Structure 1
């Protein structure tokens, strides 16, 4: 008896374990995305998960174990969801029961009411029951319907166009050709079943046809493939076709699709212009003489229709840097790629012209409005800003674009070019990589810019530039002068003292900053030697380097030559680079600063804290000091936020073993804050305004602040 009770207890334990495992399975099934139902061999519900009850919410109250399928089908009919089939209740129940007892082994799609598209999959189980799955495919079906509607609209538009659309199979035989081809005297249906090279087309050499076939066999897209064919009247027509490969969902190549257009008139015009040598030798783009001819035609069209015309002036930002650093052969290849992109991004009726160097003009006849011209400029900017692969270099250039409108901004081509050029310079002044429309006041700015640029060239030769020096003080005992920042000044014979903010950006854009920067370095070395020769206490002179100087190939040679000519050592000349320059070109700056550091020069990051970037670059750069930007120093006395930021910068520098310089100190309160928080050095009007060299010499005899 005891043995029987033990056996019963063991059996109850097994049942409880099995029930627990079954409960886990049921709970898991409720988390499945598909709906799942299981019927037993007696045609009654055994199980259905939560999703199945949601899909069939109309009869959810019957989807419980033990309910016969016939009762569920009858309730479904009576609740108004299947009575729309036109069957009687008994016919419907019998049909559903027949399918249920012998389900089709194929999956099929079914519209369930107005809410769901379902993928239905029912299968017989080994014990004679049925297991069914319901997958919600509503999103996919709606996407298919939208695609079909879009294709129908696209086909309708194609039929109204003079261009045509075509499709090919995997053997490059045409399977479809739209009616636009009929405008050329061809019957579209006559081309179906044949490949392009089987149709007697010409205008190309055998090698060009072979190259085209290789391109197709490589499954590559192609643009602007041009050839000729003879109409039944004997007239030769030029066409241009573009296509792209098509792949199915499994990634298998299924053929090509594309568009074609009649380019006969353009080809004839091009042939005539080539005879007159009206194309740029490097890029193959029209030159200014061809632009002038097309401008005349566009003017007549604009006057007739009343539609304005636009002229876009495009200048490549910092293209000179690529030429100087990588060589003109790389720059020339880049210009060719840019020309190709320009031609592809604009309309066939637009004219892209190389104006010279890295400047391009785009004539947009009958553009319609300034807004549409701006849209074209935006498309050009996006296309040109994508990376280029030139001889293994990945290059990125951005365009500054200026736009003038006909007739509002001028009636003659030279006037429109000049005004678009003025608008382009405005784009550069606003930070580059922008588009601006012409405004009359821009001419005055451009004139001033040219005057300043030419005056700077003469100013170097006439010794109009000079340096002032702002002393830098240690914040330790006695506050001695520990350095002086060299500040560039320009005394123009007519304009007087020209502010640096006015002439330095022009010097950088024009490249004059290289000559001016070399003069600053040599003058700082010369003045340092003069102070030393006078027996004054020796302090390092700190010189600012621009981003263009950092990219200068012979920067080290310039520095070493100046040091040798004036008998200076690296400890006597220090350099500062703004944080914004470093962040814009970290890779380039890393190598240059490392080379300077190896020569023994001390380096400081100026305007620190204004770069809005990751501080990870500090680990990579060879720098010795951080100069806290004066905006943070100023905020110390305004609110706690400025003080907190300054404390954070000082703490960061200390953790990296860097010295900290506070610039723009104007009050005793600011000085006390910097001293209390461990700042090493400071400069600003509280100590001294920038001084002439003789005035600083007097300061060096007594380095205490006045």
Structure 2
């Protein structure tokens, strides 16, 4: 529409000419923008009404630059308004309708408020054509409710054409989905199945074709047979290609056929002229039952009857996600507490539960989706051509349905739930392995939420980013253990008030990259906890420390105390506790200097295990320290149940001690508790002399932090004499 439309609305002929000049699918937003500008509208929208009238879906929307809401917020508001029960009468329009004040027909207070904020008053609604029912609408800010006839006619024409264009696009999309379903069924065939393009090259093929024909994508079809057979094969295919016959067959020898066995090759036309051709290959004389049984065993899970991982991965390649108009998603599902069912009711019960889950999942997905058993209690779902909102609805439906699933075995009932991860194919370079890895990671996050939940993988999600960092770090940990890239460091723990000739140490672990750079413990230690590697690290630390003590026995004996941290995983691991006891029994000259630190959180959450550790190491002469004391809510209540020698105050109470009277009161109370219960107090995060002097006044015996000494490699330690840092406080 030309610039003269700024003086008034264009004629119907001008509007039609403009619409005919543009691709109403590819240039939809541009068309809406121009229509709004030339017809004095502040916003345009195209709605699609379902069979039940509600819900109404937004197909397209444009709003002017004067809008106070973002496009996303505006779409959400429009969706709420369109689906309001008082708007239902407008979803069966046969003639144009004007809603003079839309706020007057909406009973949702929040929607009315937001409509008032946006100054949206008058709305024009126009029924348009298509097999589905569409409504084209326009609105204005602060309108008087008058819509001139020329504008109504222009928008009615535009809406009709846009509705038809959207419906055509939807039908093509449905055709694509139907094609994918067809492909899936063809892929299930127990014989080689190959799709051939118009250039006689292979487009896609099933697993059986890959194994028996050694076929490859883009391979010329005649190269599947020896040269002497190529003319026969191409002539047979030409009968179908030229539409002389709908299907045609020939018997030829395939290149990889054993003993020159004959095969019957059948060509079928899939979608009319210039469409792809389907090639089916059947061995001549081989029993069909044997062939089918072999294909089923290769592609399907024997227990559940679902496709297996091989089938699942190959089918993903067949769907060509990058060619789909909408996204392709992969779901990864894992049963929560499946091991409990196996342990309590036996593996037959577990197998029965897996079969029930397989059947239920197949009912909960769309007809074009594929459910597969990947391994054990892990299942995958391939969801081609799907919107993110629908994929999320499928995930929510699965979690809710499985949580209400009742499973009983021999009179015993088990609660059932699943965790699910969702991952989207973001570009054509994404392989099925990439998507399964992401979906599996998202499933881990769902499990960490407590199970019976789903999680959507997004690379920009900080939680996902942290998980990826820790997964990478866990691989580095395994490599560092194998290649001896860990080092022991130490940090002094100094008396604040009295002289102690021997040095108190806390042993710290550091990891180096293959290039030799130190990796922060804040990265690899959480990864070790998360991926069950902490016990291996604890073993490495204790073993190397005791070796160092044996090699430097005189230096070791001059030390006052050597403190070692134990993870929560280690104290709950009976195998580790047994190993620790045997290792300490073998070093009687070293154990008297050892002090094991466990965090308050680990001790409180695993009280029985913490008590078991204390009962194991204290009779051997080792001491116990409770680390991060005060970080929980039940510290004082549990302290009387634990026979500890030291309590290390959590650093959060030390960092701002000088100016925070509440922190001072808490530290003072802990010190009084120590005097009454006969354990000594250590303060972490001592960053300055001023903080140390405050601690001394409050009754803290020991301090540790960068203000006293930074960590150093244990290999650099040459003397066991203390730093006598208390003299600094007396100066």
Q: Which structure would you say has the larger Rg?
A: 1
- Of structures 1 and 2, the one scoring higher in RCO (CA 8 A, sep 6+) is 2
